[in-house]
Amino acid sequence: MIDVRLFSRPSLIFQSFIPLLLSGELLLNTGVSIQRVILGFIAGSAPGIILGMSMGLSPLIRSAIEPMIQATYPIPKLAIMPFILLVFGIGETSKVFTIAIGVFYLVVINTMAGVLNIEKIYLDVAKNFGASRKDFYLTVAFPGALPMIFAGLKLSMGMALILIVAAELSAAKAGVGWMIWRAYDMFDIEQMFVALIVLSVLGYLFSLLLDQIERWVIPWKN
């Protein structure tokens, strides 16, 4: 009832997994993708957190930037891949930037929402005690928005894994996405499923890592 040319048996997928693992090819491509994901994740989340806190604390900054966020967020990140390749070329920068731009929007939106949801009394107390702008960022906005920041980070990690595949489908010579495209070219269904399973495992592991970091950083939430 199932076309085995398109949906391979688990035993055949496992048989394809072993030589890919032993040869080091799978580990190499997975490592390349992980490096790109981490770099893009950091490059997108760091400015997203800072800008999100600024938008949450300052109505002026929010009114100036929020319309641009709302206007550009719905644009599919895959749709601007050709433009990214034109600007940054086919090297590592284009792949990292593709991930970073997808991560940025989710983080900035969630961070801003987290700051806006902080009870006003905390802001008033900080103001009455003469808190500086730095104090507002580090002792009020950042701790208060941390639960929403981590929600954005978890969502953006899933987006990063989606975008790394898209980025590696074009102009890449290594990576899990490149493995999927090569398997498609060679009609190697088993290798394609191996790469898809690796992506699934990476998503699960990154989720566990972020959960653990969240427990360390926000002990009062648990």
CA distance 48 to 63: 16
CA distance 67 to 51: 14
**For helices 25-57 and 92-116, angle between their N-to-C axes, nearest 10 degrees:** 40
Number of domains in the chain: 1
7 within some domain: no
pTM value? Answer: 0.85
pLDDT tens-digit readout, 129-154:
777 777 777 877 888 888 899 999 99
Mean pLDDT in residue range 106-114: 93
208 within some domain: yes
pLDDT tens-digit readout, 158-173:
889 888 888 887 767 8
pLDDT tens-digit readout, 186-204:
887 888 888 888 889 999 9
CB environment 55-81: b (16+ within 10 A), e (fewer): bbbeeeebeebeeebeeeeeeebeeeb
64 within some domain: yes
Confidence of residue 222 (pLDDT cuts 50, 70, 90): low
Residue 145: give the domain boundaries: 12-221
Write phi, then psi, for 122 (nearest 5 degrees).
Answer: -70, -40
- Least confident piece of the model among 46-50, 76-80, 109-113: 76-80
**What CATH number is associated with residue 54?**
1.10.3720.10
